[in-house]
Chains A and B, each alone.
Chain A
């Protein structure tokens, strides 16, 4: 996006921060409810070492969850695609599972995996696997029928058709799924940390008990920036892949 197109958003942010700062400093809003941006910034700078360690820990959990989601999601999609009966047997439960809120499952994860990273990673995985699975499955199923007919002329094995036609044409769908999954994995990791400890989730939670609203905001800011960095990372990965080879659904016509 060009700077010109982004300008309104920057102006809005600037106005928002100014109004926010002024309303706190003039005493319109008490700062234990809403600390001023300058106060949040000061706390973030002061506690940068703790924030950095917590952010790295959350980042690592999200990454673990995402990688597991990508590997398991894509593999499961291929299995469902190859064995339709498996899909009919299992997919409805995946959809059902997807509707159960992660906050309700997290205590169970603690029982199973204990306090700490494993539970957080599992939590990030659980919320982010489904979009990747569903998107990949759609991508595999929506291969261009004209290309499928072309491939049939040469009577290839099922494996070759999947490797050379269906998987490559599903790549844009997998990337779109990954983009959705990044945001969800961030939520999953932080919810997991609320309950299992560690990372930004635990930092926000303990700041809450100490009524350090400024530190809560610091944690929220760090998690937002983290999600942003991850989304940009996925975008870069997409551009890198698609720039190297134009993966797309339809053949030239």
Chain B
């Protein structure tokens, strides 16, 4: 059997000066190519789990293994675009190359190409404050994609956007997945978004434990799918699990 892309065993995370663990014995594995949604109530440790995967935080105990060939090919998209205000669109996307000392004519072309694909070809010289929220998020996506990642970690990337923009970016993420042989793990508050974008949905409870692990088998996604009964069956099942969590909490 192929080695999992990500393997998590008995993962515990506790921050200093905190009375209880943010994550409590979380175990799961993600197969190569699989896309996973992390769902759960506020403060359940979803973002912490994602930050642990990226290596921004270190686990308190437990095992977290990212498959060797993927380890240097992770990219992270924050909840907010987090663009450098005094850098233009293109300069923001070139930042990873500048900081790792790999800025060349070729990487520059790659950055321009990615921005064009994301519909930002006309905005290369604009500063973040001159872009809409959706455009800023696309720049942040381009900044993550330009490093040619195999695994994209996204922390509620579309939460702050209006619904239309969110749907458009959801579809963009699906296209990018197909085009670049990319898998992603993402945190979301939206059950519909989790079902729409995930092959699997992991539900965390308030104690930071893994409460449910739901596999989603749906035909190729498009926004019309959200109106279909099978889509709604998943949403309903997950809503019930989610609701059960809140009742026990």
User: With contacts A153-B76, A245-B127 known, is A250 near B99, CB below 8 A?
Assistant: no
Q: Does B110 contact A (CB under 8 A)?
A: no
**B: interface residue count bin:** 20 to 34
Is A19 located at the chain interface by the 8 A CB criterion? no
Q: Is the CB of B96 within 8 A of A154?
A: yes
Q: Which of A134-175 contact B (CB under 8 A)?
A: 146-147, 149-156, 160, 164-165, 168-169
B81-A155 in contact (CB<8A) = no
Partner of A164, one of B81, B98, B128, B129: B98
Residues of B within 8 A of A151 (CB): 99
Flag whether A72 is at the interface (Cβ < 8 A).
no
Whether B80 lies near A146 (C-beta < 8 A) is yes
Cross-chain contact A247 with B78 (CB below 8 angstroms): no
* A160–B84 alpha-carbon span in the complex (Å): 14
- Does A251 contact B83, Cβ atoms closer than 8 Å? yes
Residues of A within 8 A of B (CB-CB), count: 23
A sample of 16 more A-B contacts (CB under 8 A), given A150-B78, A155-B99, is: A147-B84, A150-B82, A153-B96, A154-B96, A154-B99, A156-B100, A245-B86, A247-B85, A248-B85, A250-B85, A251-B81, A251-B83, A252-B81, A252-B136, A253-B80, A253-B81
On whether the beta carbons of B129 and A253 are closer than 8 Å, the reply is: no
Q: Is A114 an interface residue (CB 8 A)?
A: no
Closest to A151 in B: B99
A62→B128 CA distance, assembly (Å): 38
Known contacts A150-B78, A152-B56; A251/B85 CB under 8 A: yes
A147 to B127, CA, bound (A): 16
Select which of A152, A156, A246 is within 8 A of B129 by beta carbon.
Answer: A246
- Determine whether the beta carbon of B85 is less than 8 Å from that of A252: yes
10 A-B contacts (beta carbon < 8 Å): A150-B78, A150-B84, A151-B99, A154-B100, A245-B127, A246-B129, A248-B85, A252-B81, A253-B80, A253-B81
Bound Cα distance A228, B129 (Å): 32
Expressed in whole angstroms, the Cα–Cα distance for A168 and B80 within the complex equals 21
Q: How far is the CB of A203 from chain B (nearest CB, A)?
A: 44
Q: Which 8 A-B pairs have the closest CB atoms?
A: A253-B80, A154-B99, A156-B99, A252-B128, A245-B86, A252-B83, A247-B86, A251-B82
**Cβ contacts under 8 Å, B85 to chain A:** 246-248, 250-252
Contacts of B129 in A (CB 8 A): 246, 252
Scoring B residues 95 to 133 as 1 if CB is less than 8 Å from chain A, else 0, what string do you get? Answer: 110111000000000000000000000000001110000
Cβ-based interface call for B58 (8 A)? no
How does the 8 Å CB contact mask read for B161-200 relative to A, with 1 for contact and 0 for none? 0000000000000000000000000000000000000000
